[in-house]
A = this chain, B = another copy of it.
Amino acid sequence: MTCEAEDQVDSLGERSVAEGLVDPRSLIHPVRAGNTLEATFEGLLRLIKVGAVLPGQRLPPERELADSLQVSRSTLRSVLGDLQRHGYLEVRRGRYGGTFVIDSAPEKQTDVTVDPRQLQDILAYRTVVESGAARLAAEADLQAPQRRGLRRALDAASAAAPEDYRHLDSRLHIVIGELTGSRRLVDCVVESRALVNDLLDRIPLLASNLEHSNHQHQELVAAILDGDPETAESVARAHLDGTETLLRSFLNLSA
Chain A residues at the B interface, C-beta cutoff of 8 Å? 8, 10-17, 19-22, 24-32, 36, 39-40, 42-43, 47, 52-60, 65, 68-71, 90, 96, 100, 103, 117, 120-122, 124-125, 127-129, 131-133, 135-136, 141, 152-153, 155-156, 160, 164, 168, 171, 174, 178, 180-188, 190, 255
Contacts and interface: CB of A to CB of B under 8 A. Distances in A.
A12 B100 contact: yes
23 contacts: A8-B58, A10-B100, A13-B56, A15-B103, A17-B54, A17-B55, A19-B155, A20-B153, A20-B156, A24-B52, A24-B59, A28-B47, A30-B71, A31-B39, A31-B40, A32-B70, A117-B181, A120-B182, A121-B183, A124-B182, A128-B136, A128-B180, A129-B132
A101 to B, nearest CB: 9
Contacts of A103: 12, 14-15
A31 to B, nearest CB: 4
Of the listed residues A47, A122, A183, the one surrounded by the most CB atoms of chain B closer than 10 A to its CB is A183
A58 B10 contact: yes
A11 B42 CA distance: 25
Contact of A25 (B11, B68, B127, B128): B68
A136 B59 CA distance: 38
Contacts of A17: 54-56, 156, 160, 164, 168
Given A36-B32, A103-B12, A132-B128, A47 B27 contact: yes
Given A16-B56, A21-B57, A164-B17, A125 B31 contact: no
Contact of A125 (B8, B58, B182): B182
Contacts of A141: 255
